[in-house]
């Protein structure tokens, strides 16, 4: 498999600053959604990089620093819980991706976006389904987004230890849903995600 297939095609067509973009946190019941964008030097492959979901937490943490050091530019951006509730999770994820691309210290001239949709950007973009397993720059962005979000959830775990955020990062595990039913949600939960678990009235914090 050629991890640089997409990047090489774009470079051969005259693009010079291709960024890979991915998000983390569309599925959880709590916390914001995070996105990252990465521009790598031409022909760069970082050993051990893969889809963040296929790596151990320890390995992701190690690669987080390597990716930052070897990137020409990278950025991490967020969409808040309030934005998720206001415009829905898909649009919030697109917003976070847009912010990540726009926050790069080097302006990208093309964006490879993980998934089947692209955010509203002022540069050309192309969606790559399962891009975090096909494109080196998207896979790097996947790791930056995942690690950044996990670190935030550890901080939330210190503030709300009863929910176990350090273990499940906000996802709807058996433990998490059980605690929700026992004590209800806190301020970082997404009410629209809790309706099936708690009912509309009880989903509000």
Range of the domain at 193: 158-198
pLDDT value of position 128:
98
Residues with Cβ within 8 Å of residue 197, at least 6 apart in sequence: 29, 172, 177, 180, 181, 203
**What is the mean pLDDT of the segment spanning 59-65?**
96
pLDDT surpassing 90 at residue 203: no
100/139 same-domain check: yes
The packing angle between helices 57-70 and 136-159, to 10°, is 120
175 pLDDT exceeds 90?
A: yes
Q: In this structure, is residue 204 part of a structural domain?
A: no
In a domain, 138, yes or no: yes
- Is residue 205 in some structural domain? no
203 falls within a domain: no
Output the pLDDT for position 199.
84
Residues 108-160: tens digit of each pLDDT: 999 999 999 999 999 999 999 999 999 999 999 999 999 999 999 999 999 99
Same domain, 89 and 184: no
One domain, residues 121 and 100? yes
Name the domain count of the chain.
Answer: 2
> Based on the domain organization, do 122 and 182 belong to the same domain?
no
Whether the predicted pLDDT of 204 surpasses 80: no
Segment (H or E) for 111: strand 110-114
Specify the pLDDT at position 60: 96
Q: Are strands 73-79 and 33-39 parallel, antiparallel or unpaired?
A: antiparallel
Co-location of 109 and 59 in the same domain? yes
Q: Which residues pair with 96 in a beta bridge?
A: none
Rounded Cα gap, residues 11 and 135, in angstroms:
14
**Cβ(146)–Cβ(76) under 8 Å?**
no
Report if residue 47 sits inside a domain: yes
* Contact indicator for 30, 165 with CB cutoff of 8 Å: yes
Instruction: Note whether 136 and 64 are same-domain residues.
Output: yes
CATH number of the domain at 20, please. Answer: 3.30.420.10
Is a pLDDT exceeding 70 seen at residue 104? yes
pTM of the model: 0.95
- Give the count of alpha carbons within 13 A of 101, CB side only: 29
The answer on pLDDT for 53 being more than 80 is yes
Domain membership flag for residue 136: yes
Domain check: are 114 and 192 in the same one?
Answer: no
- Residue 52 or residue 154, greater confidence: 154
Q: At CA 128, angle to CA 124 and CA 134, rounded to 5?
A: 125
Q: Averaged over 32-51, what is the pLDDT?
A: 94
Please give the C-alpha separations between residue 125 and each of 19, 70, 183, in angstroms, as whole numbers. 9, 23, 44
């Amino acid at each position: 498999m050629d991890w640089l297939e997409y990047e090489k095609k774009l470079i051969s067509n005259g693009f010079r600053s291709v960024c890979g973009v991915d998000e983390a946190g569309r599925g959880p019941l709590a916390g914001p959604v995070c996105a990252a964008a990465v521009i790598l030097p031409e022909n760069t492959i970082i050993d051990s990089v893969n889809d963040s979901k296929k790596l151990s937490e320890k390995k992701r943490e190690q690669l987080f620093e390597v990716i930052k050091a070897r990137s020409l530019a990278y950025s991490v951006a967020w969409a808040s819980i309030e934005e998720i509730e206001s415009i829905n999770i898909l649009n919030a994820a697109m917003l976070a991706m847009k912010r990540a691309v726009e926050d790069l210290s080097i302006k990208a001239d093309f964006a490879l976006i993980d998934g089947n949709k692209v955010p509203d950007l002022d540069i050309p973009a192309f969606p790559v389904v399962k891009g975090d397993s096909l494109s080196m720059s998207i896979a790097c962005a996947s790791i930056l987004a995942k690690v950044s979000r996990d670190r935030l959830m550890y901080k939330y775990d210190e503030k709300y230890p009863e929910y176990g955020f350090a273990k499940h990062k906000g996802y709807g595990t058996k433990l998490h849903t059980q605690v929700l039913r026992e004590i209800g949600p806190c301020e970082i939960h997404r009410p629209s995600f809790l309706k099936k678990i708690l009912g509309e009235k009880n989903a509000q914090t």
